Chain A
Amino acid sequence: MGTASGIIKALNSGIKHIATKRFTFRYPEQKLKFVGDGYQYDPNSGVGIAGYKGRHILFHDKCTGCQLCAIACEDIAEAIAMPKVEEEWKHNKKAIMPQIDYGKCVFCGLCVDACPFYALYMTNDYELSSFTKEALIYTPAQLQVKPKVDQDVEILIDEKGAKHG
């Protein structure tokens, strides 16, 4: 192929894309949609349920303070501590619950796999930035809160090309 025809072919290929919609989207206004409500684990079958690995959610009515999540995290990120909580539960005599430091967490989800009581799951919340290191440490009370998510942008594919919408 000649040099001129090759350059014209390359330019032509680029010009075709001027008319198509942009593949990027406006992030803070629009957010990408994920599958399900976050990564979960079923200890009975020993298999996880697909979902985004974001911030954790802790169910206080199920947590027994067994520390298995903290032990699972020990060799990975050492992000989980077990402080005392001022709550009284029959199943949690020691009254300790996980507290997660998101400055250390690597979001592998192996703590969720370790929990045998369906007490620790992950959510679709990934916006965890803060101005101080202390604010990254989520106490059991903060982990209990269900995150508000308004994620609705998906990849759409038609004849013209792919776009987010």
Chain B
Amino acid sequence: MSNQVHPKDKEILPGLQIEKVDDRIMTLNVGPQHPGSGHMRIILKIDGDYIVHTDPDPGYVHRGEEKMAEYRNYITNIPHLERPVIHDSCNILYPYCLGVEELLGLEVPERAKYLRVIAAELNRCVYIEYWLAIYGIFLGHSTMFMWPMGDRELCIDLLDKMTGARVTHAYFVPGGVRNDIPPNFEDVCLRQINYFEKRLKEYADIFYDNPILISRTKDTGILSREDAIKLGTTGSVLRASGVDFDIRKKEPYDVYEELDFQTNVLKEGDSYARSKIPWLDMFESCRIIRDALKKMPKSGSVRVKLKPKPKGGDTEVYRRVESGRGSLGMHIVSRGLPQPYRLKISVPSFRNLIAMPHLLTGEKLGNMPAVYWSLNYWPVEADR
């Protein structure tokens, strides 16, 4: 009889259990419908104003992308694989295309490589601007919501001219890109990117040098260099903790080794540094786009012709790229079929989520949004 659990002590739902705890501790669910939390829930235990326990609960938007990929061939996989991050859809297709090209032994034309880099960097700007807008409104700064949303339109317009869609471009294919750029795209791109960079500089006055932002984000959620490496974080979170790691520099893919850019590293490891790194990355993206437009071959093929249902050999490949959030990898296992035998997506969002309990525990509840969104976390991508 002693083994029987009283119905009141039973766990009804994770986080909603009725438990006998100290009267001081309160359980607080942030999400999953909260507009700020994204499609995920954070179960917080708070003692007064301080967070004593954090339990992130992702999985609300799991769509089974990996399983779906096993039933579609290498071309029809394209539209659904970019759905996890529609704002960064070129970068999530990048490792897939690189992997399938290696499987099928395709040689990508030089011009297509440059077009891919331009599309990927524009897409990175689109993603970071969206992320920055949400970060601004999280901290109650409504101007910082409006400005990036408006300036994002400059990059979306360029991608629209290039690929034919504002989001979910379906532009990358194994063997190149879907179409060439329209005539005099270079001039329009250069003009809009120059203006975009001018606008980015104005963010410093209103947001990054703003004493209100600094007082809210400085010295909150500090992640040390050792912990960042140990927890396996990636992208802006890792670089804000003083680790110089960027896939574009360490394992250059396509034409990144020929282009002129640098990686941004800050040593502080707090929310302020984590929010500043993506903004600095956008300047580098502008630099890459300008350099790529200059070095791009003026004409030539952009796509290798494929057979209707190409088959890979009996091998497996793993390729990774630097997306807007960090290193994004895809492991494709081929068994000589027209579709992948297994596809595993390694997403940066999920890797950065692991740092969340480490950072939030011990913080004040009011600092939760500033720390949470500085992790550059995209719930839909983490759930796949």
Contacts and interface: CB of A to CB of B under 8 A. Distances in A.
Given A75-B76, A109-B178, A50 B153 contact: no
Interface string A46-60: 111111110000000
Nearest to A124: B164
- Ranked nearest first, the 9 interchain pairs of A and B with the lowest CB-CB distance are A48-B179, A13-B205, A75-B76, A6-B211, A46-B305, A53-B164, A108-B79, A108-B170, A3-B211
A106 B301 CA distance: 27
A107 B72 CA distance: 18
B178 A113 contact: yes
Contact of A14 (B195, B206, B303): B206
A96 interface: no
Nearest to A2: B211
B37 interface: no
Interface in B204-245: 205-207, 209-212, 214
Interface in A8-44: 9-10, 12-14, 23-24, 32, 34-36, 38-39, 41
Interface residues of B, number: 43
B326 to A, nearest CB: 27
Interface in B72-92: 72-73, 75-76, 78-80
B191 interface: yes
B168 interface: yes
Contacts of A46: 303-305
A49 B165 CA distance: 13
A128 interface: no
A76 B76 contact: yes
A35 B180 CA distance: 12
A162 B195 contact: yes
A23 B192 CA distance: 13
A110 interface: yes
A32 B71 CA distance: 38
A155 interface: yes
B154 A39 contact: no
B165 A50 contact: no
Contacts of A106: 79, 168
B154 A76 contact: no
A12 B182 CA distance: 40
B305 A109 contact: no
Contacts of A49: 179-180
B160 interface: yes
Interface in B134-181: 143, 150, 153-154, 157, 160-165, 168, 170, 178-181
29 contacts: A3-B211, A6-B211, A12-B205, A14-B143, A23-B153, A24-B150, A36-B182, A39-B164, A46-B303, A46-B304, A47-B179, A47-B302, A48-B179, A50-B163, A50-B164, A72-B76, A74-B76, A75-B72, A75-B73, A76-B72, A77-B79, A107-B165, A108-B170, A109-B170, A110-B76, A110-B170, A113-B178, A155-B157, A157-B191
A77 B150 CA distance: 32
Contact of A7 (B71, B164, B210): B210
B257 interface: no
B162 A50 contact: yes
Given A47-B301, A53-B165, A76-B79, 18 more contacts: A3-B211, A7-B210, A7-B211, A10-B205, A10-B210, A35-B182, A38-B164, A41-B179, A46-B305, A49-B179, A72-B76, A76-B80, A109-B178, A110-B79, A113-B178, A157-B192, A157-B195, A162-B154
Given A24-B150, A107-B165, A52 B301 contact: no
Contacts of A81: none
A50 B267 CA distance: 44
A10 B141 CA distance: 11
A74 B209 CA distance: 53
B79 A13 contact: no
B209 A9 contact: yes
Nearest to A39: B164
A81 B221 CA distance: 54
Of A7, A52, A162, most buried by chain B (CB within 10 Å of CB) is A162
B314 interface: no
Contacts of A110: 75-76, 78-79, 170
Nearest to A46: B305
Given A6-B209, A47-B179, A76-B79, A34 B160 contact: yes
B90 to A, nearest CB: 14
Contacts of B303: 46-47
B170 A47 contact: no
Nearest to A16: B202
Nearest to B109: A47
Interface string B51-62: 000000000000
Contacts of A51: 164, 182
